[in-house]
Chains A and B, each alone.
Chain A
Amino acid sequence: GENVEQHPSTLSVQEGDSAVIKCTYSDSASNYFPWYKQELGKGPQLIIDIRSNVGEKKDQRIAVTLNKTAKHFSLHITETQPEDSAVYFCAASKEQAGTALIFGKGTTLSVSS
């Protein structure tokens, strides 16, 4: 089955710096790659996603890149702010009815001001 590896497990940056989180997946049939943000005591919330027919997607300060050949995808956060501090999860799935997301282990991002 699918396996998703996520690095780093913790990341500390200064406010205004950029943060990059990387994930690799094992199943070449996976074609949907979302990123979730989880704040303390809350459920995960989707922040951006990308499908296999696209190499990059941006939404304001957040971008995701996908390299299908290498089977890895990355989350880029620019101009980080203290409110970006949270746990970020990448995931992969085959985008079929009822198919579950396979999650990475998460990255704890700390943004200090």
Chain B
Amino acid sequence: NAGVTQTPKFRILKIGQSMTLQCTQDMNHNYMYWYRQDPGMGLKLIYYSVGAGITDKGEVPNGYNVSRSTTEDFPLRLELAAPSQTSVYFCASTLPSSDEQYFGPGTRLTVT
């Protein structure tokens, strides 16, 4: 199993541009999450999904959108990038019967 994979690893965006951060897991996990990690801070939840077709907002959803058309994929969309979205983004997944969240390696995004 590759676990949780994220692409790209790094990205620089100009203000107002859009992009999609990709997240894929091959563990057949129902639950998937997107977090952002700012320097010196813990991870904050952006969006989560408990299964295909079901998504819900987390603590900091503004400026982001998600979709979950398959169990494996949970892309995160930034429509109008702002400097405040400069961060490291982590995707995670878990089974309903488990509490352990498996994290991907992260995407470092800079908006200038």
Contact = CB atoms under 8 A, between A and B. Distances in A.
Interface of A: 1, 4, 6, 9, 32, 34, 36, 41-46, 49, 89, 91, 93, 95, 97-98, 100-106
Given A98-B31, A98-B56, A100-B48, A89 B101 contact: no
Contacts of B58: 100
Nearest to B90: A43
A100 B59 contact: yes
A46 B101 contact: yes
Interface residues of B, number: 24
Contact of B100 (A43, A46, A98): A46
Given A41-B105, A100-B48, A100-B58, A95 B99 contact: yes
A42 B103 CA distance: 9
B8 to A, nearest CB: 14
A106 B40 contact: yes
B96 A4 contact: no
B80 interface: no
A42 B33 CA distance: 16
Given A43-B105, A89-B42, A89-B43, A100 B100 contact: no
